[in-house]
Amino acid sequence: MKKLENKVAVITGGGSGMGKVSCEMFAAEGATVCVVDIDAKSAELTAEAIIAAGGKAKAYPADITDETAMEALFADAAAKYGKIDVLFNVAGISPMGTATTTSLAEFRKVIALDMESVFIGCKYVIPYMERQGGGVILNNVGTYGLRPTPNKMGYAAAKAGALSLTKSVAIDFARSNIRCNAICPGFVDTPLNNGFTGEARQRFLDTYQPLTLEIQAKDIAATAVFLASDDARAITGQDIVVDGGTEAYLYFNYKKKTTEN
């Protein structure tokens, strides 16, 4: 039997990268997938590919920061499929910046997309999970939510907030049989990191990541499938790190400024 047979999963950011691969892998494991993406065409293409491969999916174009839109999305999915077993919050952004180089508008944008959207998703999916006797929520947090790195202030703050939300949901709704965990990817070879190329990319992989492999979106998707399945029934409130060993030791990815005498 497939790991997610007869499950209904809502996955945000399903039009590309980790979200797209997660949608495809969840469907391959038997889930009916609600593909959520702000880009309607991308969401449709993912859903069409799943259906062409023999799976079940429906595209949901939506802005994950729009409370009204997300409330309506969950209502439609629950009405159409009768339940929502899994919510996987994947969508987000990863801007650069410090406290002085980040504008207030930019800070608010990353907080809205990377943290507030997690709150919105949890707020509106949990009542359906409570009524049906349980469910699973997964939040894509990233290792910078555990340990900030230079020039990623807004992103790290948003992800740290999302991790705290994850643990609060796990605590508050454990007796409702709702599990909530965070997945913390390290550097993953996805479109979001297309700008990180050349010598800087290779130096990171050579110096800061113990494993020499390049982590792929499928590695994150496979982790999500496991956590969404009954195989992980005793796991909740955890941050599951998938980073090739980087977080296992202290590192400071920053070149010290030199002063000339």
Catalytic residues: 155
Which stretch of DSSP H or E encloses residue 239? Answer: strand 239-242
User: Which residue shows structure tokens 């965990």?
Assistant: 181
Closest CA relative to residue 160, chosen from 145, 173, 174, 178: 145
Q: C-alpha distances in angstroms, 130 versus 61, 98, 173, 219, 233?
A: 25, 40, 8, 30, 16
Q: C-alpha distances in angstroms, 214 versus 15, 70, 206?
A: 22, 34, 11
User: Which residue shows structure tokens 């977080």?
Assistant: 247
